Amino acid sequence: MAICPDVDIDKIEIGKESEGVMHPGDDGLSHSIVEGNKQRIEQGMLLDSSINQGLFAFNADMMFENLVKDFSGAERIYGESFMRLATGSDKNALRKNIKFPEFQRELKQKLKQLQRELQDEDLLDSEGKISDKGVHLASLVLYTQELDNLQAKGLGERKTKKRCIAAA
């Protein structure tokens, strides 16, 4: 069933694709998302997950302490997807291994490295707060994922809209 809006259309024109240049001020964020730069996409997903959890800053030391001292509390604070993206491990593996000193050392190092990378890319400022560039990347990743979801459901290829407009 197609939903056709009750709209009067005076003139119908065929759309055309035009060449263009992406915004030069984005420092390659859009290009890296479109081209499938895996690291950049994961960074955007991490920042998006952080924002969804209400966390607008990333502090590796604080996250590590929370994970070690009170895993259940850390799970409520950070959420499953943020923890998975930040640590590279799912919550069950983290819960099992967090008691081992070797794993703790690796985890602390991994979290510090992640914070350094995000700061080097100017996605976090020096205090660990998500920068405007970080918010922009997170929104681009979210936007791209939503478009992929729509296309996977077949919404990008339907011709019902055209039939509705032609019938009007």
Contact 118, 58 (CB under 8 A): yes
Which has the closest alpha carbon to 107: 80, 90, 86, 128? 86
Q: Tell me the per-residue pLDDT of 71-116, one tens digit each, with 9 for 90 and over.
A: 999 999 999 999 999 999 999 999 999 999 999 999 999 999 999 9
Q: Where are the alpha helices (DSSP H) in the chain?
A: 29-34, 38-52, 60-69, 71-78, 80-87, 91-97, 101-120, 132-152, 160-167
Contact 32, 121 (CB under 8 A): no
CB proximity list for 139: less than 8 A, separation 6 or greater: 48
pLDDT at 22: 52
Q: Tell me the per-residue pLDDT of 7-47, one tens digit each, with 9 for 90 and over.
A: 666 777 776 665 655 555 555 656 555 566 788 889 999 99
Task: Give the span between the Cα atoms of 144 and 150, in whole angstroms.
Answer: 10
* Sequence-separated contacts (24+) of 164-167 with Cβ below 8 Å: 164/2, 164/4, 164/5, 165/9, 165/12, 167/4
* This prediction's pTM: 0.69
